[in-house]
Amino acid sequence: MKDAVFLLADLWMTVVGYFFGWRLIRRYGNYLLGLEWMIVAISGSNFLLWSLLGGDEGSVLYDVAGFFDAFSRSVGITLILVLGLMTATHRYKPTLAVEIGVFGLAIAGGLYLGQFFGEELHVIPATVYVVVNVLTTLFLVYVGKRLWDAGARQLAVGTVLVTGVASVIAITYDFFPFSFDDANRTLFYTAALTTWGAQGFVYFLAYRALHNHNMTTHAQPTQKESATS
């Protein structure tokens, strides 16, 4: 039963990543968020396959899992997430060079930090993950405030709550493993995958709400000018 819930949590995160990643690209042209969502989904697919094949730490799938884990924890669901959301909060338009650059940085982070993937605590990468998570959390609280000011108050609360839970997961990941968990950390990964899937879902809704709010407020002056001309 415990393993089945874990697999469902992984499937949930994977489906959210593919579905909303594609929508972010197709509907909004947001390649930063869309591609990162899909990378999370690919990571989930790899993790699911690795688990179903027995979870061998000597498998190449394990090394791939370490790469994707480091990719998203270092740059993907931190810097890339912030820049992607800034297209809605600040009407930021990243250049192609910026988009290529941040994904290149994420790849470098994944290749270097991925080598520390595993149960043993490595202080330097763990500290890096916590620091970038804290900085990202501060920005997401700001996103929550923007949603509140835009009238999307339930979504604002949801954004802050899921961000808070994700921060707890980030700290627990390396520094405070569950003492009651099994050797494979099944309970922790079930909670983490469920949370990461919820982040993808809620942050998509947050982006959509802010995008629509921007479109409405931007159109109002034009409508008024047309009415007076």
Q: What number of other Cβ atoms are within 10 A of residue 208's Cβ?
A: 18
Q: Taking the domains of the chain in order of start, what are their residue ranges? A: 2-211
Residue 217 predicted with pLDDT over 90: no
What is the homologous superfamily of the domain 2-211 according to CATH? Rhodopsin 7-helix transmembrane proteins (1.20.1070.10)
For 169-180, the pLDDT digits (tens) are: 999 888 888 888
Residue 144 predicted with pLDDT over 60: yes
pLDDT at 222: 45
For 37-46, the pLDDT digits (tens) are: 999 999 999 9
pLDDT at 224: 45
pTM of the model: 0.91
Residue 97 predicted with pLDDT over 60: yes
**Mean pLDDT within 214-226:** 61
How far apart CA 210 and CA 161 sit, in angstroms, is 18
Residues 6+ apart with CB under 8 A from 79: 102, 105, 106, 132, 136
Residue 55 predicted with pLDDT over 90: no
